[in-house]
Amino acid sequence: MKQTGRFLIIFSSLMLLWNTFLVKPIKLFTVFMHELGHAFMAIATGSGITELKIYFNESGHIMSLPKSWWSSFFIANGGYLGSVLFAILILVLKNTRFRKYIIGVIAIIFLAFTFKYSGIVSFTMLYSVIFAVFALILYMIQNETLNEWVIEIIGIGSVTYAIYDTLVDTVIIQLGYQFGFFRIGSMPVTDAVSLARLTHIPAIVWGLIWVGISIFAVYSVFLKNKSRPIRKRY
């Protein structure tokens, strides 16, 4: 099986099962990566962060003190774009000598941010510890094929999250509220809503931009590897 074929099978399966309990651990991983995207952008703009948390219901947030309009703009964009960039980085590194360290490095980053910004008694800490234990077990098993599958699933999961979440939570919900198809309380303050308030550009436009970038990432990572077969080991 070629690498792209396996990528597409994982992507299709995740999209079909996205709202089932089977993929909840992967969804929590993608939410963590989303919040890390915000966090890294806050640090990069010199704003810093005071809190980072994810929750069992697959939501999350960071608290930061943006120093300027541009800081707020980049931090708001950092979530979904960070998810896509992390996914590309993970899938690119999978084909290098660094692949055996990917899961371990992610576990260390999760624990470091959790200790500093989430607190010891939190769901974020529980998830980080579980992921670290999983990474340790994976390292002890020393099965390269299993390691590749795990890397591909979490990498493609981050892209799936960016596409699905922007389509549902941003584009569809925004259309529903705008045209009165449904109203469940007040409009959620999503990243797109935050950007709309900053730029006066409708939230749905930001959602479509993120979807477009995510789809381009799928094309770049999946289809441009179509000639690269899975390595055989003897």
| pLDDT at residue number 230 | 47
Q: Tens digit of pLDDT for each residue in 198-234? A: 999 988 888 888 888 878 877 776 655 554 554 544 4
* pLDDT above 90 (res 131): yes
Q: Tens digit of pLDDT for each residue in 143-202? A: 888 988 999 899 888 888 888 877 776 667 666 666 665 555 555 667 888 888 999 998
Give bridge partners of residue 2 from the DSSP assignment. 229
Interval 68-93 mean pLDDT: 89
Would you list the domain boundaries of the chain? 3-225
What is the value of pTM for the model shown?
0.85
Chain mean pLDDT for the chain = 84
| pLDDT at residue number 232 | 47
Interval 45-68 mean pLDDT: 91
One-letter identity of residue 198:
L
* pLDDT above 60 (res 20): yes
* pLDDT above 50 (res 33): yes
CB atoms < 10 A from the CB of 155, how many?
24
74 or 223: which leads in pLDDT: 74
Interval 85-103 mean pLDDT: 88
